[in-house]
Amino acid sequence: MKAIGFYEFGGPEVLQVVELPDPIPGPGEVRVRVGAAAVSPTDTLRRAGIRALDGKPAPELAEQGFPLVPGMELAGVIDLIGPNTETDLQVGEHVVGAIFPSGTRGAYSELVVLPVESVVRTPEGVDDIAASTLAMNGLTAMVSLETLQLDRGQTIGVTGAAGTYGGYVVQLAKAAGLQVIADAAEKDRDLVRSLGADVVVERGDDVADRFLEIAPDGLDGLADGAVLNEKVARAVKSGGNLVTVRHFESAPVNGVTFHAVRVRHNVRDTDKLDRLRRLVEEGKLSLRVARTFPACEAAEAHRLLELGGTRGRVVLNFGD
């Protein structure tokens, strides 16, 4: 099979088409013929040999052996089910999958073997391109809200709300009955309002001031998609929680507890993946594709993502 991988760390130019043996599913696994794979910031860090945790070199990646194949989420068709695998999925069904890449096992491949728990049916009426964008940001947003432990009617702040993660948090929060105050640049305000934010404030390093103008007693919780970390903690009530991405960790600040969301522990959570599927079918969660590239143009996809400012996901098309 063909995959997109690299033999050395570096810029987007190291990505290339590689030939690999067709993977064979074992017990408890399924094989998916990939139609599309979404591109994430974590993919670009992996390609550069950098840890998402601290931005430092990650020599442990090289220990997995080259070529390394990136990719954390995909959509396609089941073409083989491993022996002794209990599932109601059938060969030929369209599915969404989540995978934490290791060695040559990543989503940028024509064929990917996954644990059956990491695969659910594609939302009805959604094609592979759009479906490939659901799993990882959707899981991260869902885990973030569970971590904040907010009740209906409470107020959540969302930074980076125009991004895919932040947009999912806004939509899931509204579905859970929360009041949402979100940030956005002027050009993205209509987008963030369309996702369901009750109030949209101007983004920036001082966004905590604007959150407090709307919620002077403080937010009940905050999802920090903009990676502002300590700069925004003062907008949260003492005793409240703030969920962070990129694995930022800190001791409590002014009584606010930081929680680093590590979604890799949830890629086998079938119930969460299936809830995300249902929310898409119910129109409560939208799938936003910014641009697609043929899989062989993965380097261009990485360059676009690293420029920043994309609104929606960049997707590699493995289909015809």
Give 7 or 262, the one with higher predicted confidence: 7
Residue 203 domain flag: yes
Residue 122 domain flag: yes
Q: What is the CATH number of the domain that holds 81?
A: 3.90.180.10
Q: Do 173 and 251 lie in a common domain?
A: yes
Residue 279 domain flag: no
Q: Do 130 and 221 lie in a common domain?
A: no
Q: Do 145 and 245 lie in a common domain?
A: yes
Q: Do 260 and 148 lie in a common domain?
A: yes
Task: State mean pLDDT over 244-252.
Answer: 71
- The model carries a pTM of 0.94
- Encode the chain in three state secondary structure: CEEEEECCCCCHHHCEEEECCCCCCCCCEEEEEEEEEEECHHHHHHHHCECCCCCCECHHHHCCCCCECCCCEEEEEEEEECCCCCCCCCCCCEEEEECCCECCECCCECEEEEEHHHEEECCCCCCHHHHCCCHHHHHHHHHHHHHHCCCCCCEEEEECCCCHHHHHHHHHHHHCCCEEEEEECHHHHHHHHHCCCCEEEECCCCHHHHHHHHCCCCEEEEEECCCCCHHHHCCEEEEEEEEECCCCCCCCECCEEEEECCHHHHCCCHHHHHHHHHHHHCCCCCCCEEEEEEHHHHHHHHHHHHHCCCCCEEEEECCC
Q: Do 249 and 296 lie in a common domain?
A: no
Q: What is the CATH number of the domain that holds 213?
A: 3.40.50.720
Q: Do 123 and 214 lie in a common domain?
A: no
Q: How far apart are CA 13 and CA 320, in angstroms?
A: 24
Nearest-CA neighbor of 68 among 86, 90, 85, 45?
A: 45
Look at the chain and report how many structural domains it folds into. Answer: 2
Residue 274 domain flag: no
Q: Do 147 and 198 lie in a common domain?
A: yes
Residue 120 domain flag: yes
Task: State mean pLDDT over 4-15.
Answer: 97
Q: Do 37 and 128 lie in a common domain?
A: yes
User: Would you state the structure tokens that stand for residue 214, as one six-digit string?
Assistant: 């709307």
pLDDT tens profile 158-191: 999 999 999 999 999 999 999 999 999 999 999 9
pLDDT value, residue 51: 78
pLDDT value, residue 287: 97
Segments forming the whole domain that contains residue 129? 2-134+287-317
pLDDT band with cut points at 50, 70 and 90 for residue 13: very high
